[in-house]
Amino acid sequence: MAEPILEIQSLSKRFGGFTAVDGVSLDLGAGERLALIGPNGSGKTTLINCMSGVLPCDAGRVVFKGRDITRLPAHRRVRLGMMRSFQIPRPFRSLSVIQNLQVPLEFAQSAGAHGRDLRADALAILVVVGFADRADARPADLTQVDLRKLELARALAAKPALLVADEAMAGLSSAEVDDILAVLFRLNEQGVAVIMIEHIMRAVMRFAERVVVLDAGKKIADGTPDRVINDPAVERAYLGA
């Protein structure tokens, strides 16, 4: 079996006397599609914040591409190929769509990919996310689904091996959800491993090869979507039965 691209080992995070993440372990294969789900307050965002370097963990380890990155700052994790998108897009409002991509592309260039044409690279990414016709638009003129596509495009511009999509479909219509799913599938087809944090179960069932469920900071299920959705522990977590 190939070495996982990501290993989270017995990770815990406390806020005062409250344990938000309690000894969670999981791994992710290169190019795998994983959904991370759970009720509100289950610890999903805290786990991802610790994994990506936004928050320090209190116990456990994060290993990425075989390297212990537990103490690395967030920007160095990005340079290694770990990237996340956010539920609320925060583009550079004064820049066009394509200029918003050129910023992370320049960051990636400074890590060693010197001499490339940033505009050409940005246009290629916009083609991947189905957004090439809006290259010169301003963020203020974009719809909510367009802003989500821009957020994913900016994440892709950092040349990730792993993308965490944090509720990229929240508040979107059914057709818009399908648009974002199509983008995520295209990214995955390029070899990018994806962790999807999502409450829309239709999207989870369609996209994920594997589902991990958190409840009250603990991992309570890990398996195929069909197996997890029928797990009594998962039903209790969501329905309180």
Per-residue pLDDT of 20-49, as tens digits, reads 999 999 999 999 999 999 999 999 999 999
Residue 64 predicted with pLDDT over 90:
yes
CA dist 125 and 53 (Å) reads 25
Extract the tokens encoding 7.
Answer: 């290993």
CA dist 149 and 157 (Å) reads 12
Q: How confident is the model at residue 1 (pLDDT cuts 50, 70, 90)?
A: very low
Ordered structural domains, the chain, with CATH: 1-81+160-241 (3.40.50.300), 89-158 (no CATH)
Q: What is the DSSP string of 119-185?
A: HHHHHHHHHHTT-GGGTT--GGG--HHHHHHHHHHHHHHT--SEEEEESTTTT--HHHHHHHHHHHH
Contacts of 227 (CB under 8 A, 6+ apart): none
Residue 172's alpha-carbon distances to 55, 148, 176, 194, 239, in angstroms, are 29, 10, 6, 20, 24
| pTM for this predicted structure | 0.89
Of the listed ranges 107-111, 122-126, 224-228, the least confidently predicted one is: 107-111
**Three-class DSSP category at 217:** coil
**Three-class DSSP category at 26:** strand
Of the listed ranges 108-112, 146-150, 154-158, the least confidently predicted one is: 108-112
Of the listed ranges 103-117, 133-147, 155-169, the least confidently predicted one is: 103-117
Which whole number is the average pLDDT over 162-191?
Answer: 92
CA dist 194 and 83 (Å) reads 10
pLDDT of 69:
98
Contacts of 105 (CB under 8 A, 6+ apart): 116, 118, 121, 122, 157
Task: Note the residue count of the chain.
Answer: 241
Residue 66 predicted with pLDDT over 70:
yes
Per-residue pLDDT of 86-123, as tens digits, reads 878 889 999 999 999 998 888 776 655 554 688 898 99
CA dist 80 and 159 (Å) reads 9
Residue 6 predicted with pLDDT over 60:
yes
Q: Give the residue from 82, 81, 123 showing the smallest Cα distance to 102.
A: 123
pLDDT of 241:
52
- Alpha-carbon dihedral sign for residues 77, 81, 84, 85: positive
CA dist 226 and 72 (Å) reads 36
Q: b vs e for 173-182, b when ≥16 Cβ sit within 10 Å of the residue's Cβ?
A: eeebbebbbe
pLDDT of 109:
66
Nearest-5° angle of CA 206, CA 201, CA 209? 40
